[in-house]
Structure 1
Amino acid sequence: MSNQLEGKTVAILATDGVEQIELTRPREELESAGAKVELISIKSGSIDGYNHLDRADSFDVDKTVRQAAVEDYDGLVLPGGVANPDAMRLDRDAVALVARFVEEGKPVAAICHAPWLLVEADVVRGKTLTSFPSLQTDINNAGGHWVDRELCHEGGLITSRKPDDLDAFCSRLVEALAAES
């Protein structure tokens, strides 16, 4: 167990329909590196994870989006799934929270369909990023440059395409947070 992230607190923003491995794997990696991780959602109580289209486990929510303050966190993780980011991009508070993390220059890591939130927050213009391929047009139309790559890290945004990219995604996330003073 490494303590390279000791003293760091990271938010994971998710709701029902989150791709479970894209929530659990980054959380495990961050905690193993010594970070405190909190699950933030658009609702209180618990959220349901999914393994693709199959309901999986439930996860307790630590705070709602309205209770979360960007200054309390060193970084943000946006896991994918289709339903999860699609629901959150309709929530003004969730979109505003994502935009604030980017404005503050804190690392924001989004995987799979989660870059929909980055598009909605209007923070992709002029940046190169990746995602699940179906978001290519959305990212390009929002002024970003989409590439089909395992990992992109530009302007504080860390993006990956799918669960198969989690090794690179989690490694870069931990590196980026460790580099923050």
Structure 2
Amino acid sequence: MKKVLLILSHDVEDVEALGTRALLRRAGIEVVTATFQRSLSITTAFGLIVDVDAHVEEVDIQTCDMLIIPGGKYVKETIDLHDKMQVLAKAFDDLDKPIAAICAGPRFLGRAGLLDGKMFTAFPGSEVDMQHAKAYVKEKKALTDGQLITGKSAGSLYEFVFEIVSFLISKEHAQALLKQIEY
């Protein structure tokens, strides 16, 4: 069974975090949630209280097949305060493990230099941190370039999850998932 590490934080975008978790679990992928926060209980951007599985430093990333970074208000609130997310993303990259980020989440990848020479999509305005990327493809809802998967926004959740499941398992499995939910 494939296993992903999904980062949760206060003010994470509900759909991007919880929708991704739900659909990946439905696809048969183990989802471990982790946070950089002190508490293992976070409040999403729209007020849902969510229990998190672990603190990031407690997770053995070598056992994870992918890192997933959702967007939300927390990105703007934390990206200039510390580089913990960038360090984590670089650690996954150093292990040659794929990374998926949606909405403003790709900003962390841009700051880490992981989008250099890559095509990506993100929430409009988020491309500010990706000056060395190959191309910002704003019309795409989700895309994969090498080991990186990016999604545009909460409105592109299904396409984002499709890319993740296709990458980790198969395109056929991803198509079956979307058919199962009548997408």
Q: Could you tell me the TM-score, scaled by structure 2's length?
A: 0.84
Equivalent of 1:38 in 29, 32, 38: 32
Within a 5 Å distance, the mapping from 1:108-147 to structure 2 comes to 108-139=99-130, 141-147=131-137
Runs of 4+ in 1 over 3 A off after TM superposition: 88-93
2:176 matched to which residue of 1?
A: none
In the alignment, structure 1 residue 47 sits paired with structure 2 residue 37: no
For residues 102-143 of structure 1, the C-alpha deviation after alignment (integer angstroms, 9 at most, x for no partner) is: 23222211110001110122211100101001012321x244
Equivalent AA in structure 1 for residue 42 of structure 2: I
Change (3 A) 1:40 1:89: farther
SS in 1 for 2:48: strand
1:40 and 1:64 in contact (8 A); partners too:
yes
Change (3 A) 1:125 1:27: same
2:166 matched to which residue of 1?
A: 175
Change (3 A) 1:158 1:85: farther
CA displacement at 1:59 relative to structure 2: 1.2
2:153 matched to which residue of 1?
A: 162
SS in 2 for 1:56: coil
The two structures, once aligned, show a CA RMSD in angstroms of 1.8
Equivalent AA in structure 2 for residue 71 of structure 1: Q
SS in 1 for 2:169: helix
Q: Could you tell me the TM-score, scaled by structure 1's length?
A: 0.85
Q: Which runs of 5+ in 1 are unaligned?
A: 1-6
Structure with the largest fraction of strand: 1
Q: Which runs of 5+ in 2 are unaligned?
A: 171-183
Deviates more, 1:147-156 or 1:102-111: 102-111
Structure 1: distance between partners of 2:143 and 2:169: 18
Change (3 A) 1:41 1:85: farther
1:131 and 1:161 in contact (8 A); partners too:
yes
2:40 and 2:55 in contact (8 A); partners too:
no
Within a 5 Å distance, the mapping from 1:16-35 to structure 2 comes to 16-35=10-29
For residues 125-181 of structure 1, the C-alpha deviation after alignment (integer angstroms, 9 at most, x for no partner) is: 100101001012321x244421111112002111111111111111110111115xx
